[in-house]
Amino acid sequence: MNFIKKKILYLYKLLHYHDYLYHVLNMPIISDEEYDFLVKKINSLKKKNIIFFNEIKSSFIKLNKICDIYKNKHVKPMLSLDNTFDVNGYIKFHNNIKYCLKNKNIKFFCELKFDGVALSLLYRKGILVRALTRGDGIYGEDVTKNAYVINNIPIVLNDSTVPELLEIRGEVCMLKKDFNDLNNFSIKNNKKVFSNTRNAAAGSLRNQDISITKKRKLFFFCYECNIISDIKIFKNHSEQLNMLSNLGFCISQYILLSSNLNKILNFYYLINQIKDFLSLNIDGIVIKVNSLILQKKIGYGNKFPKWAIALKFNSKYAKSKLLSVTYQVGRTGIITPVANLFPTLLSGVMIKKASLYNKNEINKLNLFINDSVIIHRIGNVIPKIKSVIINDRMNDAKKILFPKYCPSCNSLLYNNKNYTIIQCLAGNNCLEQRRKYIEHFFSKNALYAEGFSSKIISKLVFNKYIYTPLDCFKLNVQILSKLKYFGIKSATKIINSINNCKNTTLSKFIYALGIPEIGLEHSELIANYFGSLNKILHCSIYELKKIKCIGDICSSSFLNFFSYQRNINNINKLIKEGKIKFINLKKKNIKIKKNILFKKNIVITGKFKNFLRKELINKLIHLGGIISNNISKKTNFLIVGSNPGNKIIKASNLNIKIILEEEINKVLFKKHKF
């Protein structure tokens, strides 16, 4: 059996085990997100190994059939829904359906996604004859007796038009209030405490003792019906729900029928905002194609119907554990501690690492190795440790020790006064800095040699074929072919691409030099202003300051770089021997639309929730703001994050306008004037 097959078998067994814990023992040990992740992983492997997959799947179904609990077969497979945690995932689904049906006016029906236990009710001639849990989707567990004691499940449907055989599907839920009461009672009486409303509902529904089911105050909310033996046919999902509601069933209190994508997304955002105020737990919304005829046309996949999707809410925080800390050397030698975390799912993404920024951050968090931590994602992207769960700290907690020597080149590290910066000053003598600098030099926004990837650069640097960007221009096919995984053809391609990137623009070249604080936008402004490299090499602070939007930080960093004769010599050598030529692009007039920050002197203090500091600075520069380090009479705005320094006192003494992060967010997203 090959590796992939073994892996599928292992994952499938694992899935089956978790199914068993969840459906049979009612004791899940992994979160929903982790379960979904497992399913997605299996599905991704399945595509390439479909035959093998079907083999093991059928063997598992046989196993299930023997199991007593699965003896009751559903009238039709009770599939779960495909889901996404991401609005983009929904947009893809939405457009896909429209594209497949070549129809612009497809109506979608949106309803709440109840966080409960799925239940199928079978009515014969209007009388409840059977209730099944989902089980494995084919066979469910019989809980008819329990269903009889759930208050809002009608045992008899008092309507003469009711179809002969009717199956109704929905979710059994426990209200948040009842859940809290139940757990409080359990704590007092030393009984089992449920981890969430869904587990509590499942445990209550499937209890052998129906008096317990009755006591637990469960509710049933339905979302689907199947008419099995009747001529009565509905055209739409919404009509069906209407009928169910008329028969006395509870349906989603919030619904939307629309073909408009924006309206559907707004419905999602609205529900996300009010969900905490609802009496029930919901974990997203469900969106279905409303027409039953179209549903049939679109059909079913292996696991899910293709005409419906659950758009789930992101959980913002997750608990993880700090396993160790490693230290990365940046391009400019700054050492950044990185937390290695116990792999944890957060809004559908597996988080394994998070930057710890600097020593101060670690002190502020009071973080130790082996601590339990709460993680989140800044701006929904960058993982970050939010806090430490001090109560969880055990004897194995270890202090985080900063290295004294550079992990790459072993030279003694420099600390600044308040330990915010720890830096390796070895520059190009430090292997890691060398590697990152060359990578930067040939990166997309710099000179960009296509195909000259960081992997190749690393190999060349580690094997000491290259020390500087200039060395790269001297590479040839023979040298590249010495690296194991290169053929002549691919080596030639890369050499060509390195040669081609010698024709570049002045602004790209300046950016490629990797001068601290000089980003893309600055490089372009400087190149446009001076027009030639020679003028730049001899510019003064006076001239630099004439350029719009170049603040103190940038100009002093820029001049500092060129104050070293060594740097100037290197640049001249690089241009001459590397045969770099500047293409004369027509002077581009960078037009910045006027806005509230345009040409304003701005100082920043504190930490920001939604941005890294550098990101914020770049955004402000983009809007034409001039960033300075210190408050002076010239300062127009002070932008304040959390834990601001004493700049805020200075600013208020000078009557300088103070802007909070929330306000600056609105400006950046063009919604606000202050």
List residues near Zn ion by CB under 5 A.
406, 408-409, 424, 426, 430
Cα gap 394→592, rounded to integer Å: 55
333: number of Cβ within 10 Å: 23
Catalytic residue IDs: 113
H helix runs in 102-189, sequence order? 144-148, 176-188
Nearest CA to 22 out of 36, 10, 9, 8 is that of: 36
Q: Answer yes or no: is 239 a known binding residue.
A: no
- Sheet strands (E) in 184-304: 218-227, 255-258, 282-289
- Identify which of residues 403 and 644 has a Cβ nearer to Zn ion in the complex: 403
Write a three-state SS string for 373-398: EEEEEECCCEEEEEEECHHHCCCCCE
Min CB(622)–Zn ion separation in Å = 33
Q: Answer yes or no: is 142 a known binding residue.
A: no
Min CB(359)–Zn ion separation in Å = 17
- Identify which of residues 103 and 429 has a Cβ nearer to Zn ion in the complex: 429
User: What one-character-per-residue DSSP string does 74-89 give?
Assistant: PSS------EESSHHH
Q: Answer yes or no: is 555 a known binding residue.
A: no
Nearest CA to 518 out of 567, 473, 470, 477 is that of: 567
Contact yes or no for 548/525 (Cβ under 8 A): yes
- Sheet containing strand 335-346, strands side by side: 349-355, 335-346, 318-329, 372-378, 382-388
Min CB(627)–Zn ion separation in Å = 29
Cα gap 390→388, rounded to integer Å: 6
Contact yes or no for 383/375 (Cβ under 8 A): yes
- Identify which of residues 162 and 430 has a Cβ nearer to Zn ion in the complex: 430
Instruction: Copy the structure tokens of residue 117.
Output: 């236990």
Question: SS3 of 301, please?
Answer: coil
The number of C-alpha atoms within 13 Å of 166 and in the hemisphere containing its C-beta is 24
Q: Answer yes or no: is 506 a known binding residue.
A: no
- Identify which of residues 10 and 405 has a Cβ nearer to Zn ion in the complex: 405
- Identify which of residues 343 and 427 has a Cβ nearer to Zn ion in the complex: 427
Min CB(556)–Zn ion separation in Å = 24
Q: Answer yes or no: is 55 a known binding residue.
A: no
Phi, psi of 309 (to 5 degrees): -150, 150
Reported residue count of the chain is: 674
- Identify which of residues 112 and 422 has a Cβ nearer to Zn ion in the complex: 422
Contact yes or no for 460/485 (Cβ under 8 A): no
Please name the residues in contact with 301: beta carbons below 8 A apart, sequence gap of 6 or more.
Answer: 82
Min CB(457)–Zn ion separation in Å = 17
Min CB(412)–Zn ion separation in Å = 10
Q: With left for phi above 0 and alpha for psi between -120 and 50, is residue 304 left, alpha or beta?
A: beta
Q: Per residue in 198-223, is it b (16+ CB within 10 Å) or e — as a string?
A: bbbbbbbbbbeeeeebbebbbbbbbb
Min CB(629)–Zn ion separation in Å = 27
- Identify which of residues 363 and 428 has a Cβ nearer to Zn ion in the complex: 428
Q: Answer yes or no: is 167 a known binding residue.
A: no
The number of C-alpha atoms within 13 Å of 535 and in the hemisphere containing its C-beta is 10
Residue 590 carries which DSSP code? -
Q: Answer yes or no: is 409 a known binding residue.
A: yes
- Identify which of residues 306 and 331 has a Cβ nearer to Zn ion in the complex: 331
Min CB(329)–Zn ion separation in Å = 6
Q: Answer yes or no: is 32 a known binding residue.
A: yes
Q: Answer yes or no: is 521 a known binding residue.
A: no
Q: Answer yes or no: is 81 a known binding residue.
A: yes
Q: Answer yes or no: is 566 a known binding residue.
A: no
- Identify which of residues 410 and 557 has a Cβ nearer to Zn ion in the complex: 410
Contact yes or no for 335/403 (Cβ under 8 A): yes
Min CB(413)–Zn ion separation in Å = 8
Q: Answer yes or no: is 134 a known binding residue.
A: yes
Cα gap 458→464, rounded to integer Å: 10
Contact yes or no for 581/503 (Cβ under 8 A): yes
Binding region: 32-36, 80-81, 111, 134, 171, 288, 312, 406, 409, 430
Binding region for Zn(2+): 406, 409, 430
Binding region for NAD(+): 32-36, 80-81, 111, 134, 171, 288, 312
